[in-house]
Amino acid sequence: MTKIVSPSMLSANFLNLEKDINMVNDSEAEWFHLDVMDGMYVPNITFGLPIIKQIKQKATKPLDVHLMIQQPERYISDFKAAGADILTIHYEASTHLHKSIQTIKAEGMKAGVAINPHTSVTLLEDILQDVDMVLIMSVNPGFGGQKFIKQTIHKIKRLRIEIESSGAQTMIQVDGGVDNTNAARLYDAGADCLVAGSYVFKANDPKEAISLLKKA
Binding site for Zn ion (CB under 5 A): 35, 66, 175
CB-wise, 20 or 175, nearer to ligand DX5?
175
Asked if 46 contacts 21 with a C-beta cutoff of 8 angstroms, the reply is: no
Among 196, 212, 213, 216, binds ligand DX5 (CB under 6 A): 196
Among 4, 8, 55, 192, binds ligand DX5 (CB under 6 A): 8
In angstroms, what is the minimal distance from the CB of 40 to Zn ion?
17
User: Which residue numbers are catalytic?
Assistant: 35, 175
d(CA 129, CA 140): 26
CB-wise, 88 or 103, nearer to ligand DX5?
88
Residue 39 binds which of Zn ion, ligand DX5, none (CB < 5-8 A, kind-dependent): none
With CA atoms as reference, report the closest residue to 191 among 121, 119, 133: 133
- Beta-bridged to residue 7, according to DSSP, are 196
Distance of CA 41 to the CA centre of its chain: 16
d(CA 46, CA 24): 20
Asked if residue 198 binds ligand DX5 (CB under 6 A), the reply is yes
Residue 89 binds which of Zn ion, ligand DX5, none (CB < 5-8 A, kind-dependent): none
Asked if 36 contacts 75 with a C-beta cutoff of 8 angstroms, the reply is: no
Burial of 42 (0-12, 13-18, 19+ CB in 10 A): buried
Asked if residue 20 binds ligand DX5 (CB under 6 A), the reply is no
Among 32, 33, 48, 67, binds ligand DX5 (CB under 6 A): 33
In angstroms, what is the minimal distance from the CB of 138 to ligand DX5?
8
Q: Which residues of 106-128 are buried (b: 16+ CB within 10 A; e: fewer)?
A: eeebbbbbbbbeebebeebeebb
CB-wise, 112 or 142, nearer to ligand DX5?
142
Asked if residue 38 binds ligand DX5 (CB under 6 A), the reply is no
Among 67, 109, 124, 178, binds ligand DX5 (CB under 6 A): 178
| The CA-based dihedral angle spanning residues 105, 139, 4, 60, taken in that order and rounded to the nearest 10 degrees | 70
Give the footprint of ligand DX5 on this chain (CB under 6 A).
8, 10-11, 33, 35, 66, 139, 141-142, 144-146, 175-178, 195-199
